[in-house]
């Protein structure tokens, strides 16, 4: 079973740049412009601006992650550094490294590695 693929013409989701959103929110909070004017000027949905101003929908989209940001950063660093020491990593190696790490951590994942490069 594959991951969801976005189809053409489907609903746009988070189709904006965060810097523009933050600038629009700052201008609205400081009273420089209205929500409607900021929506038109920065090409952002007005409902998105309203939600950000009211702190609604603050969670990240998707399910909970298995690895923390720090764990991902450390794994990435080691995987990138491995070829410098004469150990190139292919997709199967990456899957085994992550699986071993998760097993050591006590996390049970059935289909975690299905979406990694090189998986069938």
Q: What pTM value is reported for the model?
A: 0.49
Alpha helices (H) in 30-110, listed in sequence order: 35-42, 46-53, 69-81, 91-105
Instruction: Measure the CA–CA gap between 75 and 64, rounded to whole angstroms.
Output: 18
For the stretch 57-83, what's the b/e string if a residue is b when 16 or more beta carbons lie within 10 angstroms of its beta carbon?
eeeeeeeeeebeeeeeeeeeeeeeeee
Q: Which domains does the chain have, with CATH numbers?
A: 7-61 (1.10.10.60), 69-115 (no CATH)
Q: Per-residue pLDDT for 18 more than 90? A: no
Higher pLDDT, residue 105 or 54 = 54
pLDDT value for 111: 57
**pLDDT at site 8:** 63
The percent of the chain in helix, strand and coil, each rounded to the nearest 5, is 55, 0, 45
What mean pLDDT is predicted for residues 107-112? 65
For the stretch 64-105, pLDDT in tens is 788 888 999 998 998 899 999 998 889 899 888 888 888 888
Tell me, what's the pLDDT at 59? 79
Mean pLDDT of the chain: 83
If we measure between CA atoms, which residue out of 66, 69, 77 comes closest to residue 101? Answer: 66
């Amino acid at each position: 079973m594959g991951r969801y693929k976005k189809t053409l013409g489907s609903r746009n989701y988070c189709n904006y740049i965060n810097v523009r959103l933050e600038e629009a929110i700052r201008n609205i909070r400081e009273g420089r412009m209205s929500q409607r004017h900021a929506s038109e000027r920065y090409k952002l949905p007005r409902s998105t601006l309203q939600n950000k101003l009211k702190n609604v929908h603050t969670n990240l989209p998707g399910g909970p992650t298995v690895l923390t940001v720090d764990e991902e950063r450390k794994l990435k660093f080691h995987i990138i550094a491995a070829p410098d020491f004469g150990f190139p990593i292919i997709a199967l190696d990456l899957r085994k490294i992550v699986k071993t790490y998760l097993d050591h951590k006590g996390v049970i994942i059935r289909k975690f590695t299905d979406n990694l490069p090189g998986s069938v």
